[in-house]
Structures are given as structure tokens and as C-alpha cells.
Amino acid sequence: MEKFSWKTIDDNKILKELDLSSFSYKVSVVPQDFYSFFNIEDEDFDIVLKTDKHSYSASLKWAREKSPVVRLWWKEDFSEALKEKFPKWINRKKGDKFSNMKLIFEKTADKKVFNVSFKDDSDGLVFGHIPGVSAGDIFESRKELSEYGLHAPTMAGIWGRENEGSCSIVLSGGYEDDIDNLDYILYTGQGGQDAPGGKQVSDQEFSRGNKGLQLSCEYGLPVRVTRGHQVNNGPESGYRYDGLYYVTSYERIIGKSGHYICRFHLESELSISDLEKKLDENLPENYKTTHRTETTINKINRNIKLREKIKEIYGHKCQVCNVYLRRPHGAIAIGAHIKGLGQPHNGPDALSNMLCLCPNHHAQFDDLAFYIDPETFAVKGLEGYEEVNLTISNNHKIDKEFLEYHKDQYEKKTNEN
């Protein structure tokens, strides 16, 4: 059942698509079709909304006596939780009909207690292989690529975001500066054409998908590559998924058209022989084998959004020295974890466990050359910055527990020496 912005998932779950009033006024009208789910009768009553970590008070109230309209009201703490989970709520406008921001209610044994969870359909980026899809598989169209989750955009060649990375590209012969040697690709970024696949009429910038590919390079994220029938190494028809590649470097240079373009160097994760075996039927006649050394890399999953968020909060300035390190395509700063993510530390990937540091102070912090006092946030043990207070934004709450852990590690290492 679906009514307005509400939808039934199953007998025990319903979904609410959040609109501006959900964030600005802390309220949502409940359609009559969903009264039975909330056990709504004649009188107002309070309920509890529970997430994995917190419980929030809310109320179901009739708008007027004998009115068919019941509103679900919640308090400021739950409103703040919504805003933290869905930071893009600020872009919502009054009257917007659709939203990727959804709230799921689930019944419990207590009729006045509901489990709630958050669903953001805009979080559709998937890095790595798609289950059930193998290198060499053929797809009839861009639409079919989208339906399988390989490459969601049906027009754009890059699928990615500025604060998360890019997970997929499609080669379809749209840019004159591209080079495709099968296991190596020199790929031109997006933007600056008078029409898709047309002439380059203006400069490209490291924004949108180009910024995403830049992040994929910096964080070592895999990029799915699909070749279309339009390119020499592509299939006779349709689109062929050619597996995972990694962005090894990038630059912004003047292209053949005389305008600045963003270029990305990508290399396949497959050995050249394996790639040739999978794609043999579509290789050009003059193709020559180039030998590569096969390697395997295991990495901890890290939330790229958080690492970019912490840098954004501090304007890419180090919280210790307040230095902004400029480079040609942005700034150099590191989203560093206070309590390490891997063994044996097992710290959480959360903003409360992160600092924005320059490369030097990041290396010194990780090597326990200094620590931050958990109570005063003063720098301790760092020559030239002794007793300097850490810069802390009002938008960044550091959990003292992680600073205590780092301090303990520092003291253990100091005592060993």
C-alpha cells in the first residue's frame, strides 16, 4: 500500500519519504491508511522511536477534535539525528515531490515502541565488482548497465561524487584525447563539450565525477570499466564489462582542442594475459602483449565521505599547526583516525575519532611522537607546539575516549624507550 509519502514494506514495516517539514517542523501527517500500524484510536498518545543506539520521545496527536488528520511529532534530538544522517536535507524546497531520504518504522512487542532506521537512496555508489557480473559480460544498452547496477547514469561517462569517489566509467569514444591500450587507459574527464561527444569548447575542472576519480586515485578505490561498441577495443555491439581498474595518477593539461582537460591514468587489476583471455574476440589485430606483474592488495574499508568531511570542516587546515598546504588541484590534508581502525586497535570509522592533519603531523601523531590532552585538548610532547591548543570546530565533537586511548599508547611507547 502506498499513500502520499508513506508506503507499506510488509506487515511490520512502513516507510516514510522525508520532506522539508520533517526537518524544519519536526512533524509528519500520517495518512488514515496507516492508522492501524501505529494503533491510532481516538486520543493523543506518546510513543518511543528507537535506533540502534538511542531512544527518542515522540507523539501522535489529532490536529483538531474529530479531525481525520493525525500528526506524528518528534522532538529536537530526533530532528538533529535526522539532519546528521541526511545532510542534504538543507537542499530540500517546499513542495518538492520526491526525496532519497527515507525513514523506516518497524513494530515491536510494545505497541508504543517502534524501531526506526534510515535509508538514503542517494547512497548508491558501489565500489568493486557487482555480484553476478563477470569481466567479459555483454550488455545491450546503457539502460541495461544501469539496471544491473554497473553504471547508474545512462548518459554520463563517470559515475561518482565529489566527496566519495568514482566507482565506474564507460568508454564510448566521446573525447579526442583518450588512449585505450586495453590494460592501460588514459581517460579524459567530463565537462566542457558543446554536446555529449561533441567539441571541447571550454576548460574542465576537478569537480563532479572528475573530483571523484581524483579521490579514487588518492584512496586507492577500484573503478569498474565498461567499453562500448564505439571504441576500438570494445565489443561489436552493446557494452562489455571489462573488470576493475585503478587510477594510478592524474593531471590537468591543455588538450588537443586548446582547452584544459582532466586526464586520468588507469591500469587493470587483471594480469594482461587474463584480460586478453576474457576479451580475446574483441581485441584489435595489431594488439601487442605487454607483460605485467600480478599483485593482490588487501585494504580496510574506510568511509571516504567522513575523511573528506573532516577536511571540509577545517578548510583543509591542520588542527595542530593551522597550515593550509596548497597544491595545483586543491590542498593537501589528511583525515586521520585517533584510534586506529585495524588490528589491534579496532577504532571506529567516525568523525568523533578523526582529526584533520597535515602530512607531517599525521605521521608524527601515528608514530606517537605527541598526543592531545583529553581534557584540555592541548598538544603534548611536540617540539614547537607544546601546550598549543588543538583547533576544534563547533561542528566537530571529538570523543575523549579515543584521545585517552592514544595517550595511553604514547605513554607505553615513551616508557619502553
Name the packing angle between helices 208-219 and 304-313 (round to 10°). 110
Q: Calculate mean pLDDT across residues 248-271.
A: 89
Indicate the average pLDDT of the chain. 86
Question: Residue 44: what pLDDT?
Answer: 92
pLDDT category, 286, cuts 50, 70, 90?
A: low
* pLDDT for the residue numbered 105: 95
pTM, to two decimals: 0.50
Q: CB burial class (10 A; 0-12, 13-18, 19+) of residue 68?
A: exposed
User: Are the CB atoms for 392 and 362 separated by under 8 Å?
Assistant: no
**Residue with C-alpha cell 579524459?**
188
Peptide bond into 344 cis (omega under 30): yes
E-state strands within 38-182:
45-50, 55-62, 70-74, 101-107, 113-120, 138-139, 158-161, 165-171, 179-180
Residue 97: pLDDT band (50, 70, 90) is: low
Residue range 187-192: mean pLDDT, rounded: 90
pLDDT band at 287 (very low <50, low <70, confident <90, very high): low
| CB contact at 8 A, 254 and 277 | no
Choice between 187 and 122, residue whose per-residue pLDDT is larger = 187
Q: 32-39: long-range contacts at Cβ-Cβ below 8 A with a sequence spacing of 24 or more?
A: 32/68, 33/1, 33/3, 33/6, 34/3, 34/6, 34/8, 35/70, 37/105, 37/107, 38/72, 38/114, 39/111, 39/112
Task: Look up residue 56 and give its three cell numbers.
Answer: 527518542
Domains and CATH numbers, the chain: 2-120 (2.40.330.10), 138-282 (2.30.280.10), 304-416 (no CATH)
Q: State percent of the chain over pLDDT 90.
A: 47
What is residue 108's predicted lDDT score, i.e. its pLDDT? Answer: 95
Q: Tell me the torsion sign for CA atoms 24, 26, 28, 29.
A: negative
The set of residues, in sequence order, having a beta carbon less than 8 Å from that of 89 and lying 6+ positions away, is 18, 20, 22, 23, 82, 83, 101
Grid cell digits, residue 71: 500528526
Rounded distance, CA 374 to CA 330, Å?
32
Beta bridge partners of 114: 49, 107
The answer to whether the beta carbons of residues 382 and 364 sit under 8 Å apart is: yes
Beta bridge partners of 176: none
Radius of gyration of the chain (CA): 26
Residue 113 has pLDDT above 90, yes or no: yes
User: Residue 26 gets which letter from DSSP?
Assistant: S
Q: What is the mean pLDDT of residues 57-61?
A: 95
Give yes or no for residue 23 having a pLDDT over 70.
Answer: yes
**Which residues partner with 46 through β-bridges?**
59
Q: Count CA atoms closer than 13 A to 386's CA, side-chain side.
A: 3
Confidence (pLDDT) at 167 = 94
Give one DSSP letter per residue of 294-358, joined into a string. Answer: ----------HHHHHHHHHHTTT--TTT---EEETTEEE-EEEESS-SSTTT----SGGGEEEE-
Torsions phi, psi of 218, nearest 5?
A: -65, -30
Q: Averaged over 121-144, what is the pLDDT?
A: 81
Identify whether the C-beta of residue 264 lies closer than 8 Å to the C-beta of residue 250.
yes
Question: Hey, which residues does 407 pair with through a beta bridge?
Answer: none
Q: Is 398 helix (H, G, I), strand (E, B) or coil?
A: coil
In tens, the pLDDT along 288-345 reads 555 444 444 445 566 788 999 999 999 999 999 999 999 877 889 999 999 988 767 8
